[in-house]
Amino acid sequence: MTHRARSRIIPWLFLLPSLLWYLIFLVYPMAYSFVISLTDWDGLSKGSNWVGLANYIAVIFNDEVSRLAIKNNLLWTVGTLLIPTLMGLFLAIALDQKLPARSLFRTVFYGPAVLPLVAVGLIWAWMYNPQFGFINEVLKAIGLGHLARGWLSVFETALPATFVTAIWTGIGFSMVVYLAALQGIPAEQYEAARMDGATGPRLFWHITLPWLREAHVIVLSLAVINSFKVFDLIYTMTYGGPGRSTQVMGTWMYFNAFQYYHAGYGSAIAWVIALITLVFAVPYVRHMSRD
Amino acid sequence: MAAITQTRVATKRSTSAHIQRTWPKVVLWIFLAVAAVIWLVPFFIIVLTSLRSMNDLISNGVFAWPTRWVPENFTRAWNLGNFSTFFRNSLILIFTKVPLGILIASLAAYPLAKMRFRGSNIVFIFFLIGLAVPIHVTLTPLLVMMKQLGIAGTLPALIPPYVVFGLPFQIFVMRGFLRTIPSELIEAARLDGANELSVFFRIMLPLAVPALITLFIIDSLGTWNELLIALVLISSEASLTVPVGLLRFQGQWSSRYTELMAGVVISIAPILFIYIFLQRYLVSGLTAGALKE
């Protein structure tokens, strides 16, 4: 082999294991599940019938639970887009200053983010427990006992209650990303602006926020992507209930594909999730691949 | 006289300026401390619950100090909940899947970081897209594939999907890290007659140890925490990992809150331990993954 031919082939030899792994266990299953989503396969039997886009039409137009699940995912997006992001930004700005015990604060606020979501769900199911839960106990102790309820088993509060849990585990990530971005702002920027007579709020609007643009792209696109992927917290805290009121697309897909034996329909829901997350991944991937 | 007044005004101004500067910080600090305590409440509550008796819980409520400490909750949960099996399975996964995944990711990251060739950017973007692919879209086919391989329901079935979902992030981080290694080192080794494989193993990997440690920790946490794939691909009790096992335990002990919370504490204790002692690696790696520079 000539030297040139060898140097042309070497990069691909290094890439081969991960490319193969990626094609076999990610790309092929994705394509395969798209094919399944065009059938009425139950997931077990040998045969299945081609149904075209019928499953997708059902997900978007006919199945009320699917529509509710999409709505819940949108609510989840709104909830986790605004509150944890703003709280994370606030904490990052606060903890970027020299304060006593600031690394302890960072440890505490990021802590819940490293826990398994199953454990987080069980912890909060216990906090919300109707009989002995901490939340109800506190309400009773401060004379608001009439507000005590089974937070996760009542229609009006079940979904918002899971948002609180999502906020508890979610602020850590945005805080850490914003902190890293803040530390990347050159100090001269602030000094130059101060020389020009700028103070507090003006510095924030004209220097801090523009320098955080990259961090916003990451935090916001990941918040959207992750809120359409939600599964663990709903599965462990409400199991989609009461009734089916807290179903999200992730859990509804799971119930259909693996409990009701509607593999075709479940795959269609999964592909709807995938299409949404891939669209929102565009700015994220563009940012990550930029040199 | 005038001089005295002037100095007095000056000192007054400087103390008030000092107060103006420190006062908001004090308020901010108190606010942060209160928020931190609120953030820690769930941890206090589960530890307190896991260390008392059910009778004590029923009669005294969840935030009373336990009348008697009951560490036996932990031994009961550990033994009856079969946690030793779950721990063993999750640890087996961590020590097989994580090194395997990081190795093939590093192999891919080397040419993407240090070689010029046609299509490198397309391959890199192709991998990055994997960051956004929801696991859900692969589950049914993965189950079919694992059945065909004869490993559905058992621990080895988790290795292929766990490796694949770790690859995009690991390739991204390793590529970023390997780019910072000076190319002169590689050139010098090549002049000495080293082939590319030995450049990779003798020069790149040893220099990348900090990144490898970070990836090992992050990927171990991810493996320890993963629920959805395990829920679909694992069926036998003997193959359950910690998250699925904890759910199974909750199904059986749902009204024995004290033992249930002991089980929760058992499942998160290793994670918290690693977090508190290895936080530096963890957080730097996560931000390196998200932000560049």
Structure ipTM: 0.92
Residue A9 lies in a domain: no
Please tell me the predicted confidence (pLDDT) of residue B12.
47
Domain harbouring A98, CATH code: 1.10.3720.10
**Cβ A32–B139 below 8 Å, yes or no?**
no
The mean per-residue pLDDT over the stretch A51-71 comes to 94
B117 and B238 together in one domain: yes
Closest CA to B286 of B170, B132, B121: B170
Residue A218 lies in a domain: yes
Residue B34 lies in a domain: yes
Residue B179 scores a pLDDT above 60: yes
Count of domains observed in chain A: 1
Residue A228 lies in a domain: yes
Residue A197 lies in a domain: yes
B130 and B52 together in one domain: no
Which residues from B are below 8 Å from A46, CB to CB? none
B274 and B190 together in one domain: yes
B158 and B124 together in one domain: yes
pLDDT grade for A133, boundaries at 50, 70 and 90: very high
Residue B5 scores a pLDDT above 50: no
pLDDT grade for B1, boundaries at 50, 70 and 90: very low
Count the Cβ atoms, other than its own, within 10 Å of residue A177.
26
Residue B180 scores a pLDDT above 50: yes
Which residues from A are below 8 Å from B137, CB to CB? 29-30, 33, 267, 270-271, 273-274
Please tell me the predicted confidence (pLDDT) of residue B269.
95
Residue B1 lies in a domain: no
Please tell me the predicted confidence (pLDDT) of residue B287.
66
pLDDT grade for B15, boundaries at 50, 70 and 90: low
Residues B230/B241, Cβ–Cβ less than 8 Å = yes
Please tell me the predicted confidence (pLDDT) of residue B286.
66
Angle between helix axes A64-95 and A102-110 (nearest 10 degrees) is: 170
**Cβ A285–B128 below 8 Å, yes or no?**
yes
The mean per-residue pLDDT over the stretch B154-182 comes to 94
B151 and B39 together in one domain: no
Gap from B115 CA to chain A (nearest CA, Å) = 7
The mean per-residue pLDDT over the stretch B201-228 comes to 92
pLDDT grade for B293, boundaries at 50, 70 and 90: very low
B94 and B147 together in one domain: yes
Residue B249 lies in a domain: yes
The mean per-residue pLDDT over the stretch A197-221 comes to 85
**Cβ B28–A94 below 8 Å, yes or no?**
yes
Q: Is B256 left (phi over 0), alpha (psi -120 to 50) or beta?
A: beta
Residue B3 scores a pLDDT above 60: no
B138 and B274 together in one domain: yes
Residue A35 lies in a domain: no
Q: Residues with Cβ < 8 Å from A242, sequence gap 6 or more?
A: A153, A154, A155, A158
Gap from B43 CA to chain A (nearest CA, Å) = 8
Residue B50 scores a pLDDT above 50: yes
> What is the average pLDDT score of chain A?
91
Domain that holds residue B116: 85-290
Please tell me the predicted confidence (pLDDT) of residue B19.
57
**Per-residue pLDDT tens for A98-126?**
888 888 999 999 999 999 999 999 999 99
B207 and B267 together in one domain: yes
* Contact A277/B at CB under 8 A: yes
Residue A180 scores a pLDDT above 80: yes
Residue B184 scores a pLDDT above 60: yes
Which residues from B are below 8 Å from A270, CB to CB? 134, 136-137, 139-140
Closest CA to B93 of B273, B203, B219: B219
Residue B237 scores a pLDDT above 70: yes
Residue B75 lies in a domain: no
Count of domains observed in chain B: 2
Residue B8 lies in a domain: no
Please tell me the predicted confidence (pLDDT) of residue B200.
93
* 3-state SS, one letter per residue, for chain A: CCHHHHHHHHHHHHHHHHHHHHHHHHHHHHHHHHHHHCECCCCCCCCCCECCCHHHHHHHHHCHHHHHHHHHHHHHHHHHHHHHHHHHHHHHHHHCCCCCCHHHHHHHHHHHHHCCHHHHHHHHHHHCCCCCCHHHHHHHHCCCHHHCCCCCCCHHHHHHHHHHHHHHHHHHHHHHHHHHHHHCCCHHHHHHHHHCCCCHHHHHHHHHHHHCHHHHHHHHHHHHHHHHHCCHHHHHHCCCCCCCCCCCHHHHHHHHHHCCCCHHHHHHHHHHHHHHHHHHHHHHHHHHHCC
B204 and B101 together in one domain: yes
**Cβ B133–A21 below 8 Å, yes or no?**
no
pLDDT grade for A287, boundaries at 50, 70 and 90: confident
Residue A33 lies in a domain: no
Nearest CB to A263 within list B128, B140, B200: B140
Q: Name the B residues in 205-264 with CB < 8 Å from any A CB.
A: 221, 224-225, 227-228, 231-232, 242-243, 246-247, 250, 257, 260-261, 264
B105 and B218 together in one domain: yes
B97 and B58 together in one domain: no
**Per-residue pLDDT tens for A232-276?**
999 999 999 899 999 999 999 999 999 999 999 999 999 999 999
Domain that holds residue A99: 65-289
pLDDT grade for B9, boundaries at 50, 70 and 90: very low
Gap from B6 CA to chain A (nearest CA, Å) = 26
CA distance B282 to B209: 14
Residue A233 lies in a domain: yes
* Contact A229/B at CB under 8 A: yes
Residue A125 lies in a domain: yes
User: Biggest alpha carbon distance in chain B?
Assistant: 99
pTM exceeds cut of 0.80 = yes
B147 and B220 together in one domain: yes
Handedness of CA B219, B224, B228, B231 (dihedral sign): positive
